[in-house]
A and B are shown apart, each in its own frame.
Chain A
Amino acid sequence: MKLFALALALLLPSMAAAPDVMGNAFGNPNAPIMMEIFSDFQCPACKNLHDNALPEIMREFVTPGKVYLVQRYFPLQGHPYGMLSAAYVCAASRVGKFEQASNVLFATQQVWSGTGQVEATVNTVLTPIEAKKVKSLLNDPSVQGQIQHDLEVGRSVPVNQTPTILVTHGVRRYPIAGVTDLGLLRSFLNDLLKK
């Protein structure tokens, strides 16, 4: 029983790192650290993380292959357009436009959060053919399935708020809830990399 538990504990990180992602993972899948960001496109704190900390994390840790970054969909029930925006970005990821779609949604969050014009906003970064395909993919089981999967992964952490960053290093997992200071996060990641 103990051996089984040990084997499971050793396997868990690799299971978590398994390619259950499509278009929303960045960097080297074999990096020593995996960072999962659970966010809601309508959440202001997620916009803050996306706009301020994420570019630095990408530059310092993801691009050099130190961190494998997975952006997970975690639409909150309290946000009326949370699920719709997640579905549009997930569908856009199927045509290779995850980054563009998420960037434009975060950049104009205040606007579409008021008007509800998620489709029009995402379409600004899509060609007419892509826009048509994205719309047809909205209710595709794989799109809905990926969002549900990410929600389930988040609930198992458990994620209680967005953004939550889950850092996995070896067999240990560190959940970081809310907006965090970039300097502390940088110091934390660098210390983990030294281990």
Chain B
Amino acid sequence: MTFSRSNTLRITALVLRIVLGAVFVYAAWLKLHDPWQMFAMSIDSYQLLPMWAVRMVARTLPWVELLLGIVLMTGFWLRISATAVALMLLVFFSLIVRAWAKGMEISCGCFGPGEAISWKTMLRDGSLLAAALFVAAVSLVRRRKPA
């Protein structure tokens, strides 16, 4: 039995989307486990948003992460969820790189409080972004193929 290239891509995308979904659910659970102000303080430390927006994002983003994680793992609305996860990770990664480049000694806020931004954070989030882009690309390409 031999695997074709498309089968390999499909299986890789399946594994990656389950991993990404689990990571999103885990990140959401850690944030929802803590009082919302903890995540709000992490967001505020990036010095990008006004306080009303900080509060709104802190209260809603973990639920969005949870929903996207579950949807991504189940495979429903894959094209939309994979693209949304890739876009979210692109934003997160950009913000982390910006903070690091500016020498801001702040907490990442990625998986709850207390994780200072370092090259490890960037490596991890960069890998997640690469995986999400791959999953999104595979889901979009498959959609375009004629039945």
Contact = CB atoms under 8 A, between A and B. Distances in A.
Give the interface SS of chain A, mostly helix, strand, loop or mixed: mixed
A176 B38 CA distance: 7
B113 A174 contact: yes
A154 to B, nearest CB: 12
Contacts of B107: 177-178
Nearest to A164: B114
B41 A175 contact: no
Contacts of A176: 38, 41, 113
Interface stretch (A92-100, A133-141, A187-195): A187-195
Contacts of A174: 34-35, 38, 113
B35 A192 contact: yes
Interface residues of B, number: 16
A74 to B, nearest CB: 14
A184 interface: yes
- Interface size range on A against B: 10 to 19
Interface in A83-135: none
Given A177-B107, A180-B45, A187 B37 contact: yes
Contacts of B13: none
Given A157-B114, A183-B51, A178 B105 contact: yes
A144 interface: no
B35 A177 contact: no
Interface in B60-117: 105-107, 113-114, 116
Contact of A191 (B35, B54, B105): B35
A36 to B, nearest CB: 14
A71 interface: no
Contacts of B44: 180-181, 184
Interface in A135-191: 157-158, 160-161, 174-181, 183-185, 187-188, 191
B120 to A, nearest CB: 12
Contacts of A157: 114
Task: Output the residue of A157, A175, A184 with the most chain B CB within 10 A.
Answer: A184
B37 A160 contact: no
Nearest to A177: B107
Interface of B: 34-35, 37-38, 40-41, 44-45, 51, 54, 105-107, 113-114, 116
12 contacts: A158-B114, A175-B114, A176-B113, A179-B45, A180-B41, A180-B45, A183-B51, A184-B37, A184-B44, A184-B54, A188-B37, A191-B35
Given A174-B35, A176-B41, A185-B37, 20 more contacts: A157-B114, A158-B114, A160-B116, A161-B116, A174-B113, A175-B113, A176-B113, A177-B107, A177-B116, A178-B107, A181-B41, A183-B51, A184-B37, A184-B41, A184-B44, A185-B41, A187-B37, A188-B35, A188-B37, A192-B35
